[in-house]
């Protein structure tokens, strides 16, 4: 969140007082002050099997049926899969239902169900579509009021591993605002 992903980069992102990426949602520090946003909903998209952020075996948090399906899909290094296995082009509460069923494609999404501070939020959204819709609408309103990073103020990431930092920032933003 707040950065562009590109092919050029530098070390400036590491010197702006930003926290390092952390592997567990429970270990995330306090959110960044006033995080700029350039994107909307996270469950909308796809990932490549070569991506290091996909939840693939031997991860024991993933549904075994989904893991077997992904192993077949990801046998090709260029294969892609949708982040939401049921409704690929729609942002709705089903995403939370899927991660409650251990069918999260991204490891960080699946870990939302394992952390004591985020589990009630995930469970609430998974069982109450209206609560999800209201919270999502509120989040979009908040994001609309944030300054958009443009021009030379943007960051361009050279390595795909930097995407993990982006995901951590998104998680911190959502945890701060209880979204």
For residue 16, CA distances in Å to 95, 118, 178 come to: 33, 27, 25
Sign of the alpha-carbon dihedral angle for 125, 147, 37, 14: negative
Closest CA to 139 of 28, 18, 37: 37
- CA 105 – CA 43 distance, rounded (Å): 10
Residue 179 near residue 140, CB atoms below 8 Å:
no
Is 92 among the annotated ligand-binding positions? yes
Is 84 among the annotated ligand-binding positions? yes
Which segments are annotated as binding site? 84, 92
Which segments are annotated as binding site for Ca(2+)? 84, 92
């Amino acid at each position: 969140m707040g950065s562009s992903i590109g092919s050029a980069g530098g070390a400036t992102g590491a010197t702006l007082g930003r926290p390092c990426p952390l592997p567990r949602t429970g270990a995330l520090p306090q959110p960044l002050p006033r995080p700029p946003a350039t994107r909307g909903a996270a469950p909308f998209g796809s990932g490549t099997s070569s991506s290091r952020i996909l939840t693939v075996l031997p991860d024991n948090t993933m549904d075994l049926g989904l893991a077997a399906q992904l192993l077949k899909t990801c046998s090709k290094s260029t294969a892609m899969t949708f982040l939401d296995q049921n409704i690929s082009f729609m942002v709705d509460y089903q995403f939370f239902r899927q991660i409650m069923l251990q069918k999260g494609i991204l490891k960080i999404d699946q870990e939302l169900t394992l952390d004591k501070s985020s589990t009630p939020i995930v469970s609430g959204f998974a069982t109450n579509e209206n609560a999800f819709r209201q919270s999502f609408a509120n989040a979009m309103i908040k994001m609309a009021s944030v300054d958009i990073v443009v021009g030379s103020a943007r960051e361009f990431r050279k390595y795909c591993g930097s995407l993990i930092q982006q995901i951590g920032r998104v998680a911190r933003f959502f945890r701060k605002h209880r979204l």
